[in-house]
A and B are shown apart, each in its own frame.
Chain A
Amino acid sequence: DAMVIQNPRYQVTQFGKPVTLSCSQTLNHNVMYWYQQKSSQAPKLLFHYYDKDFNNEADTPDNFQSRRPNTSFCFLDIRSPGLGDAAMYLCATSRDIRGNEQFFGPGTRLTVL
């Protein structure tokens, strides 16, 4: 089945220690998104890639970076995680930028000690 895969499902890091979260997709979709979802809150878009074009949300902290080396993979790098960055990180894809439906991965739950 075509799908969105996120690894790891659970990540524990230390305050200030860089961490990378991974997302891959077999849907061959052009757009990939990263969302942050804190407990009982709405998913919040951090940034998205339309093909190789990177689009950062205005309020996404500089601490968060992303890479998309090819169509299938996208990475979320957190350069210096703080306690407030503990959250579920969701990767999603859509066929094109008009978006229509987005397909979400299962998420990576990040804990910062």
Chain B
Amino acid sequence: EDQVTQSPEALRLQEGESSSLNCSYTVSGLRGLFWYRQDPGKGPEFLFTLYSAGEEKEKERLKATLTKKESFLHITAPKPEDSATYLCAVKTGANNLFFGTGTRLTVIP
């Protein structure tokens, strides 16, 4: 059975304190791993797609990496506006997105 597990469930960081969020997956036939940001009461906002182990993508203070079993979302020198829930999703042979439950990030000024 396909599984996506995100950790930690919640993370509190001081502004400027870098850290990483983890997404581990067990799926048959990975066709892509996606990171989304979701603000309270809003729909998920697309951040990155990763397709193969070793791939990396960057956007501002965020960097996503992928191995054969997990993905990391690295946040460098976060700011309060980076506070959100970060969702990881995988696309499998069924061509549907299967989401993890997310990491709720709070960045304290």
Main secondary structure of the interface of A (DSSP, over half): loop
Question: Is A104 in contact with B102, judged by CB distance below 8 angstroms?
Answer: no
Consensus secondary structure, chain B interface = strand
Residues of chain B lying within 8 A (CB to CB) of residue A6: 43
* Alpha-carbon separation in the docked complex, A102 to B34 (Å): 9
Q: A40-B101, A41-B101, A42-B100 are in contact. Are A97 and B43 (CB under 8 A)?
A: no
Q: Are A99 and B91 in contact (CB under 8 A)?
A: yes
Interface residues of B in 74-96 (CB under 8 A from A): 87, 91, 95-96
Interface size on B, residues (CB 8 A): 22
Judged by a CB distance under 8 angstroms, whether B69 is at the interface is no
Stretch at the interface among B11-19, B44-52, B58-66: B44-52
> Quick one: closest B residue to A40, CB to CB?
B101
| A contact residues, range | 20 to 34
Question: Top 8 closest A-B pairs, CB basis?
Answer: A104-B43, A42-B99, A42-B101, A101-B46, A104-B44, A107-B43, A106-B43, A43-B99
